[in-house]
Amino acid sequence: MARPVLRALAAVLTLLLTTAACSSLEGTGDKGYISGNGQITVVDPGERGEPVELEGTTLDGEPLSLADLRGSVVVVNVWWSACGPCRSEEPKLVAAHGQAEDAEFVGVNIRDSSVEPAQSFVRRFDVPYPSIFDPSGKALLAFAGTLSPRTIPSTVLLDRQGRIAASVIGEIPSTLTLTDLVAQIADEPADG
C-alpha cells in the first residue's frame, strides 16, 4: 500500500517541478541565470526617465562612468563569460561596434568571481570596448525596471542625455538590429 502512495507522490512532485520550470523566458538548466528571448523594447522620448547613473571599475582596473559618455548614444551590454548566449552574441556586438559610428559601447560583466575569466572572454572575442567588472551584479540596479538582474545577456541603449531609450532582453537578434536601433536613437532631435 505504501508503494502506490509513494508513486503518486513522485508523480505529483515531477508534475510540479516540470510546470514550475515553464516560463516565457528561455531556460539555462542549472546555470543560475535566465536568458531572455531577444525581446526589443523602445521607449518613446517623452516617456524616458532620468539619466542612468552608473560608475565602476573596468576589467583593466580603470574607472568608468556613463556620465562621461553623455552626448553619445551608449550601448550597455550585460554579460558573463560562462553564458552561452553571451558567447553567441559577442561577435554581433563587436561587428555593431565597428559599424555604429554614433555610439559608445560599454560592457557590464557580472557573475565572474575574478577578472581572469572575463579578460579571457574579451581576448577570445577581440572585444574593443571596456567592460565594468561587477561580480555582485549591483550595477544592474541602475537599470531598475528595464533589466531583470538574472537575465543575461541584456543590452540597453541610452540616448544622448543618458536616458534608457531601448532594451533587448536576451541575445540581440542581429548586428543590423542593433545598428538600426543606434541609428534611430542617434537621429532623434538633440533636445530629446
Count of structural domains within the chain = 1
Question: What is the CATH classification number for the domain harbouring 64?
Answer: 3.40.30.10
Q: Is residue 144 part of a domain?
A: yes
**Share above pLDDT 70 across residues of the chain, in percent, rounded to a whole number:** 78
Q: Is residue 18 part of a domain?
A: no
E strands, the chain, in order: 39-42, 55-57, 63-65, 73-79, 103-110, 131-134, 154-158, 164-169
User: Rounded to two decimals, what is the model's pTM?
Assistant: 0.81
CA atoms within 13 A on the CB side of 58: 14
pLDDT tops 50 at residue 21? no
Range of 181's domain? 25-186
pLDDT in tens, 2-19: 554 434 333 333 332 222
Report the Cα 34 to chain-centroid distance in Å.
Answer: 11
